Each structure stands twice: as C-alpha cells, then as structure tokens.
Homo-oligomer: A and B are copies of this chain.
Amino acid sequence: MSQHLRVVATIPTAPEHAEAVRAGLRDLVAATQQEEGCVAYDCFESNAAPGTFVMVEEWASQEAMDAHMKTPHMAEVFKVLGPALAGDVAIHPLRPLG
C-alpha cells in the first residue's frame, strides 16, 4: 500500500467574499470526504488572518489526490474562489522533516 500523503493548503480570501467562500468550502469538504482515497479532509479558518482558510488533508495515495484535483466539486470551488482570492493559494504536499 503506497505511503499516505498529507497536505496543508492556505487560501487567502477577501473578507467581503467570506460567506460565499464558506458555503463553497462546506460543499467541497462534504463531497471530498466521500471520495474513496480520502483519509482526512478538514477546512478551518485562521484566527490570526481573517479571510484565510486552511485545509488539512490526508490521502491514501498520490493517485487518490490526483483524482481529487479533477473532480467536479474541485472545479466548482475554483469558480467560487476565483473572484474571492486575496493572494496565492499555497498547496503544501508534506514530507517529514529531513
């Protein structure tokens, strides 16, 4: 069984879009948690940076994560996030400290 893949992503959005982004991310989380290779997939808001959302993810394999990136619900959330972004989305596939 290939190594689980852990990912952290940070998504800075403009506060005036917060409600639309929250709704979009709630739908994304609900759909993603049903995906076969999804081990954990949680969305948080940052208490230090209003408008910044943080995804904490764990995937059964790279293939599972790649399939996730091509799902309709990912395409859908990018439509919501597009006009709301206040900076670059940072997606960090994690490897243990060397």
Contacts and interface: CB of A to CB of B under 8 A. Distances in A.
B47 A92 contact: yes
Contacts of A95: 44-45, 47
Given A8-B8, A10-B92, A92-B10, A97 B26 contact: yes
Number of copies: 2
A46 B45 CA distance: 21
Contacts of A91: 48
Interface residues of A, number: 28
Contact of A90 (B43, B45, B49): B49
A92 B95 CA distance: 20
A48 B94 CA distance: 8
A46 B97 contact: no
